[in-house]
Structure 1
Amino acid sequence: MESKRQQKFSRLIQKELSEIFQREMQHKFGKTFITVTSVRMTADLSLARVYLSFMLAPNTTEVMKQVEDYHSEIRRHLGLRIGKQVRHVPDLQFFQDDSAEYSSNIDKILSGLDIPPADDEGKGDNGSEDKK
Protein backbone atom coordinates (compact mmCIF):
# COMPACT_ATOMS: atom_id res chain seq x y z
CA MET A 1 0.00 0.00 0.00
CA GLU A 2 1.41 3.34 -1.02
CA SER A 3 1.58 6.15 1.50
CA LYS A 4 -0.18 9.47 0.90
CA ARG A 5 3.19 11.01 0.11
CA GLN A 6 3.96 8.36 -2.52
CA GLN A 7 0.52 8.81 -4.08
CA LYS A 8 0.88 12.59 -4.21
CA PHE A 9 4.35 12.31 -5.73
CA SER A 10 3.10 9.72 -8.26
CA ARG A 11 0.28 12.01 -9.41
CA LEU A 12 2.68 14.94 -9.78
CA ILE A 13 5.14 12.92 -11.85
CA GLN A 14 2.37 11.40 -13.98
CA LYS A 15 0.95 14.83 -14.78
CA GLU A 16 4.33 16.35 -15.61
CA LEU A 17 5.54 13.38 -17.67
CA SER A 18 2.28 13.41 -19.64
CA GLU A 19 2.88 17.03 -20.56
CA ILE A 20 6.52 16.33 -21.40
CA PHE A 21 5.55 13.52 -23.78
CA GLN A 22 2.85 15.68 -25.39
CA ARG A 23 4.75 18.97 -25.66
CA GLU A 24 8.54 18.76 -25.39
CA MET A 25 9.15 15.23 -26.68
CA GLN A 26 6.35 14.76 -29.21
CA HIS A 27 8.59 15.34 -32.24
CA LYS A 28 11.00 12.60 -31.08
CA PHE A 29 8.43 9.81 -31.49
CA GLY A 30 6.80 10.75 -34.80
CA LYS A 31 3.04 10.22 -34.91
CA THR A 32 3.04 7.93 -31.88
CA PHE A 33 0.79 9.18 -29.08
CA ILE A 34 2.28 8.26 -25.69
CA THR A 35 0.09 8.14 -22.59
CA VAL A 36 1.40 7.81 -19.04
CA THR A 37 -1.12 5.35 -17.59
CA SER A 38 0.32 5.13 -14.07
CA VAL A 39 3.37 5.87 -11.94
CA ARG A 40 4.45 3.79 -8.93
CA MET A 41 6.94 5.26 -6.48
CA THR A 42 9.32 3.39 -4.21
CA ALA A 43 9.01 4.09 -0.48
CA ASP A 44 12.06 6.37 -0.45
CA LEU A 45 10.79 8.28 -3.54
CA SER A 46 14.06 7.64 -5.38
CA LEU A 47 12.61 5.54 -8.20
CA ALA A 48 9.49 6.03 -10.29
CA ARG A 49 8.16 3.11 -12.30
CA VAL A 50 6.36 4.71 -15.23
CA TYR A 51 3.83 2.70 -17.25
CA LEU A 52 3.28 3.89 -20.82
CA SER A 53 0.60 3.15 -23.40
CA PHE A 54 1.15 3.77 -27.11
CA MET A 55 -1.36 4.70 -29.80
CA LEU A 56 -0.65 4.90 -33.53
CA ALA A 57 2.66 3.13 -32.98
CA PRO A 58 3.76 0.92 -35.87
CA ASN A 59 6.08 -1.05 -33.57
CA THR A 60 5.67 -0.65 -29.80
CA THR A 61 8.98 -2.33 -28.96
CA GLU A 62 10.81 0.16 -31.17
CA VAL A 63 9.02 3.10 -29.51
CA MET A 64 9.87 1.65 -26.09
CA LYS A 65 13.53 1.48 -27.14
CA GLN A 66 13.36 5.13 -28.23
CA VAL A 67 11.89 6.10 -24.85
CA GLU A 68 14.82 4.34 -23.15
CA ASP A 69 17.27 6.14 -25.47
CA TYR A 70 15.79 9.51 -24.47
CA HIS A 71 15.68 8.57 -20.76
CA SER A 72 18.15 11.23 -19.61
CA GLU A 73 16.49 13.97 -21.66
CA ILE A 74 13.05 13.06 -20.28
CA ARG A 75 14.44 13.11 -16.72
CA ARG A 76 16.08 16.49 -17.37
CA HIS A 77 12.75 17.95 -18.56
CA LEU A 78 11.08 16.49 -15.45
CA GLY A 79 13.75 18.06 -13.24
CA LEU A 80 13.17 21.47 -14.82
CA ARG A 81 9.44 21.18 -14.11
CA ILE A 82 9.45 19.78 -10.53
CA GLY A 83 12.90 20.83 -9.31
CA LYS A 84 11.56 23.53 -6.99
CA GLN A 85 8.91 21.21 -5.50
CA VAL A 86 11.07 18.19 -4.66
CA ARG A 87 14.42 17.58 -3.08
CA HIS A 88 15.61 14.95 -5.58
CA VAL A 89 14.31 14.11 -9.02
CA PRO A 90 13.65 10.36 -8.99
CA ASP A 91 15.22 7.96 -11.42
CA LEU A 92 12.75 6.71 -14.02
CA GLN A 93 12.06 3.15 -15.15
CA PHE A 94 9.77 2.81 -18.14
CA PHE A 95 7.44 -0.14 -18.72
CA GLN A 96 4.91 -0.83 -21.43
CA ASP A 97 1.38 -0.95 -20.05
CA ASP A 98 -0.37 -3.73 -21.92
CA SER A 99 -3.55 -3.73 -19.83
CA ALA A 100 -5.64 -2.42 -22.78
CA GLU A 101 -4.43 -5.27 -24.98
CA TYR A 102 -5.04 -7.74 -22.18
CA SER A 103 -8.61 -6.53 -21.57
CA SER A 104 -9.47 -6.58 -25.29
CA ASN A 105 -8.10 -10.12 -25.50
CA ILE A 106 -10.26 -11.18 -22.53
CA ASP A 107 -13.30 -9.51 -24.13
CA LYS A 108 -12.63 -11.40 -27.36
CA ILE A 109 -12.36 -14.70 -25.48
CA LEU A 110 -15.54 -14.03 -23.49
CA SER A 111 -17.53 -13.04 -26.57
CA GLY A 112 -16.43 -16.27 -28.26
CA LEU A 113 -17.80 -18.46 -25.46
CA ASP A 114 -21.02 -20.37 -26.08
CA ILE A 115 -22.95 -19.95 -22.85
CA PRO A 116 -26.43 -21.48 -22.78
CA PRO A 117 -29.24 -19.28 -21.45
CA ALA A 118 -30.15 -19.68 -17.78
CA ASP A 119 -33.23 -21.71 -16.77
CA ASP A 120 -36.14 -20.17 -14.87
CA GLU A 121 -35.08 -18.52 -11.62
CA GLY A 122 -37.13 -20.63 -9.23
CA LYS A 123 -35.57 -23.93 -10.25
CA GLY A 124 -32.47 -25.50 -8.70
CA ASP A 125 -29.78 -27.61 -10.35
CA ASN A 126 -31.89 -30.78 -10.44
CA GLY A 127 -34.89 -29.10 -12.03
CA SER A 128 -37.09 -29.08 -8.92
CA GLU A 129 -38.27 -25.88 -7.34
CA ASP A 130 -36.31 -24.54 -4.37
CA LYS A 131 -38.22 -24.36 -1.10
CA LYS A 132 -37.60 -21.40 1.13
Structure 2
Amino acid sequence: MESKRQQKVASLLQQELAAVFQRDLPHLFPGLPPGINLVRVSPDLGVARVYLSVLSIGSAADKASQGEAQMVLVKDNGKPIRQALAKRIRRQLRIVPELVFFLDDSAAYAAQMDRVFGDLEIPAAPTAPTPAEDTDAATRPGGPRPRLFGGSEE
Protein backbone atom coordinates (compact mmCIF):
# COMPACT_ATOMS: atom_id res chain seq x y z
CA MET A 1 0.00 0.00 0.00
CA GLU A 2 1.27 3.43 -0.92
CA SER A 3 1.91 6.06 1.73
CA LYS A 4 0.29 9.49 1.57
CA ARG A 5 3.60 10.98 0.49
CA GLN A 6 3.94 8.50 -2.38
CA GLN A 7 0.39 9.29 -3.52
CA LYS A 8 1.02 13.04 -3.40
CA VAL A 9 4.27 12.77 -5.33
CA ALA A 10 2.65 10.47 -7.90
CA SER A 11 -0.20 12.92 -8.40
CA LEU A 12 2.23 15.82 -8.77
CA LEU A 13 4.32 13.87 -11.30
CA GLN A 14 1.25 12.91 -13.31
CA GLN A 15 0.06 16.51 -13.58
CA GLU A 16 3.46 17.94 -14.38
CA LEU A 17 4.38 15.24 -16.91
CA ALA A 18 1.13 15.92 -18.75
CA ALA A 19 2.10 19.61 -18.88
CA VAL A 20 5.60 18.70 -20.09
CA PHE A 21 4.22 16.53 -22.91
CA GLN A 22 1.64 19.11 -23.99
CA ARG A 23 3.41 22.45 -23.43
CA ASP A 24 7.15 22.06 -23.02
CA LEU A 25 8.02 19.27 -25.47
CA PRO A 26 5.22 19.01 -28.06
CA HIS A 27 7.81 18.91 -30.86
CA LEU A 28 8.97 15.47 -29.71
CA PHE A 29 5.60 13.86 -30.35
CA PRO A 30 4.10 14.09 -33.83
CA GLY A 31 0.32 14.00 -33.64
CA LEU A 32 -1.13 13.57 -30.18
CA PRO A 33 1.14 13.39 -27.14
CA PRO A 34 0.79 10.27 -24.99
CA GLY A 35 -1.70 10.36 -22.14
CA ILE A 36 -0.63 9.54 -18.61
CA ASN A 37 -2.92 6.97 -17.03
CA LEU A 38 -1.07 6.19 -13.83
CA VAL A 39 2.12 7.03 -11.96
CA ARG A 40 3.48 4.78 -9.21
CA VAL A 41 6.36 5.95 -7.04
CA SER A 42 8.75 3.70 -5.12
CA PRO A 43 8.82 4.04 -1.30
CA ASP A 44 12.13 5.96 -1.42
CA LEU A 45 10.68 8.31 -4.10
CA GLY A 46 13.64 7.48 -6.34
CA VAL A 47 11.82 5.71 -9.17
CA ALA A 48 8.53 6.60 -10.81
CA ARG A 49 6.76 4.09 -13.03
CA VAL A 50 4.74 6.03 -15.60
CA TYR A 51 1.97 4.21 -17.50
CA LEU A 52 1.21 5.91 -20.81
CA SER A 53 -1.68 5.45 -23.19
CA VAL A 54 -1.38 6.27 -26.85
CA LEU A 55 -4.38 7.54 -28.76
CA SER A 56 -4.36 6.52 -32.40
CA ILE A 57 -6.77 6.02 -35.25
CA GLY A 58 -6.98 2.91 -37.38
CA SER A 59 -7.13 -0.84 -37.03
CA ALA A 60 -5.87 -2.74 -34.01
CA ALA A 61 -2.59 -3.59 -35.76
CA ASP A 62 -2.04 0.08 -36.66
CA LYS A 63 -2.77 1.14 -33.09
CA ALA A 64 -0.31 -1.40 -31.71
CA SER A 65 2.45 -0.30 -34.09
CA GLN A 66 1.77 3.38 -33.38
CA GLY A 67 1.84 2.64 -29.64
CA GLU A 68 5.18 0.86 -29.96
CA ALA A 69 6.61 3.72 -32.03
CA GLN A 70 5.38 6.30 -29.51
CA MET A 71 6.91 4.34 -26.62
CA VAL A 72 10.27 4.11 -28.42
CA LEU A 73 10.10 7.87 -28.93
CA VAL A 74 9.34 8.49 -25.25
CA LYS A 75 12.09 6.16 -24.03
CA ASP A 76 14.65 7.67 -26.41
CA ASN A 77 13.80 11.17 -25.14
CA GLY A 78 13.76 10.21 -21.46
CA LYS A 79 16.56 12.60 -20.51
CA PRO A 80 14.96 15.77 -21.99
CA ILE A 81 11.62 14.76 -20.48
CA ARG A 82 13.19 14.37 -17.04
CA GLN A 83 15.03 17.70 -17.39
CA ALA A 84 11.83 19.53 -18.36
CA LEU A 85 10.05 17.87 -15.45
CA ALA A 86 12.87 18.95 -13.10
CA LYS A 87 12.40 22.58 -14.15
CA ARG A 88 8.71 22.36 -13.30
CA ILE A 89 8.96 20.60 -9.91
CA ARG A 90 12.28 21.90 -8.58
CA ARG A 91 10.55 23.76 -5.76
CA GLN A 92 8.41 20.81 -4.64
CA LEU A 93 10.91 17.91 -4.72
CA ARG A 94 14.56 17.83 -3.85
CA ILE A 95 15.39 14.92 -6.15
CA VAL A 96 13.56 14.22 -9.42
CA PRO A 97 12.76 10.50 -9.59
CA GLU A 98 14.07 8.32 -12.36
CA LEU A 99 11.27 7.84 -14.89
CA VAL A 100 10.47 4.39 -16.24
CA PHE A 101 7.82 4.38 -18.96
CA PHE A 102 5.37 1.57 -19.70
CA LEU A 103 2.63 1.24 -22.28
CA ASP A 104 -0.72 0.98 -20.51
CA ASP A 105 -2.97 -1.30 -22.54
CA SER A 106 -5.81 -1.52 -20.03
CA ALA A 107 -8.25 0.24 -22.40
CA ALA A 108 -7.50 -2.25 -25.18
CA TYR A 109 -7.80 -5.12 -22.71
CA ALA A 110 -11.17 -3.82 -21.49
CA ALA A 111 -12.41 -3.52 -25.08
CA GLN A 112 -11.26 -7.07 -25.82
CA MET A 113 -13.01 -8.43 -22.71
CA ASP A 114 -16.16 -6.52 -23.68
CA ARG A 115 -16.07 -8.19 -27.12
CA VAL A 116 -15.53 -11.62 -25.53
CA PHE A 117 -18.46 -11.16 -23.14
CA GLY A 118 -20.61 -9.77 -25.95
CA ASP A 119 -19.96 -12.85 -28.10
CA LEU A 120 -21.02 -15.28 -25.38
CA GLU A 121 -24.33 -16.98 -25.93
CA ILE A 122 -25.95 -17.51 -22.57
CA PRO A 123 -29.19 -19.53 -22.61
CA ALA A 124 -32.16 -18.04 -20.83
CA ALA A 125 -32.76 -19.31 -17.31
CA PRO A 126 -35.74 -21.63 -16.91
CA THR A 127 -38.72 -19.86 -15.45
CA ALA A 128 -40.10 -21.03 -12.12
CA PRO A 129 -43.85 -21.62 -11.94
CA THR A 130 -45.80 -18.78 -10.37
CA PRO A 131 -48.23 -19.48 -7.52
CA ALA A 132 -51.15 -19.15 -9.95
CA GLU A 133 -49.63 -21.86 -12.16
CA ASP A 134 -49.01 -24.18 -9.20
CA THR A 135 -51.71 -26.76 -10.04
CA ASP A 136 -50.83 -29.32 -7.40
CA ALA A 137 -51.35 -26.87 -4.50
CA ALA A 138 -54.79 -28.30 -3.78
CA THR A 139 -53.45 -31.86 -3.68
CA ARG A 140 -50.52 -31.02 -1.41
CA PRO A 141 -50.71 -32.55 2.08
CA GLY A 142 -52.24 -30.02 4.42
CA GLY A 143 -54.06 -28.26 1.60
CA PRO A 144 -53.02 -25.08 -0.11
CA ARG A 145 -50.22 -22.96 1.34
CA PRO A 146 -51.33 -20.05 3.50
CA ARG A 147 -50.33 -16.59 2.34
CA LEU A 148 -47.88 -14.82 4.61
CA PHE A 149 -48.62 -11.21 3.73
CA GLY A 150 -52.11 -10.41 2.66
CA GLY A 151 -55.43 -12.15 2.38
CA SER A 152 -56.06 -15.87 2.26
CA GLU A 153 -55.34 -17.87 -0.86
CA GLU A 154 -58.37 -18.68 -2.95
Fold match (TM-score > 0.5): yes
TM-score relative to the length of structure 2: 0.75
Give unmatched runs, 5+ long, in structure 1.
124-132
Q: 1:12 to 1:116 in 2, by over 3 A?
A: same
How far has the Cα of 1:8 moved from its partner?
Answer: 0.4
Relative to structure 1, the CA distance from residue 122 to residue 99 in structure 2 (aligned partners, 3 Å threshold; closer, same or farther) is farther
Structure 2 match to 1:90: 97
The TM-score normalised by the length of structure 1 is 0.87
Deviation at 1:122, TM superposition (A): 7.2
Q: Secondary structure at the match of 2:34?
A: strand
Counterpart of 1:73 (choices 70, 80, 96) is: 80
Structure having the larger proportion of residues in strand: 1
Q: Which has the larger radius of gyration?
A: 2
Alignment of 1:3-42 (within 5 A): 3-42=3-42
Tell me the distance in 2 between the aligned counterparts of 1:38 and 1:61.
18
Q: 1:117 to 1:70 in 2, by over 3 A?
A: same
Classify the secondary structure of the residue corresponding to 1:11: helix
Tell me, yes or no, if the aligned pair for 1:33 and 1:56 is still in contact at 8 Å. Answer: no
What residue ranges of structure 2 are gaps of 5+ in the alignment?
131-154
Asked if the contact 2:34–2:70 (Cα under 8 Å) also holds between the matched residues in 1, the reply is: no
Aligned length: 123
- Which amino acid is the alignment partner of residue 48 of structure 1? A
In 2: Cα distance, 1:13 partner to 1:90 partner: 9
RMSD: 1.6
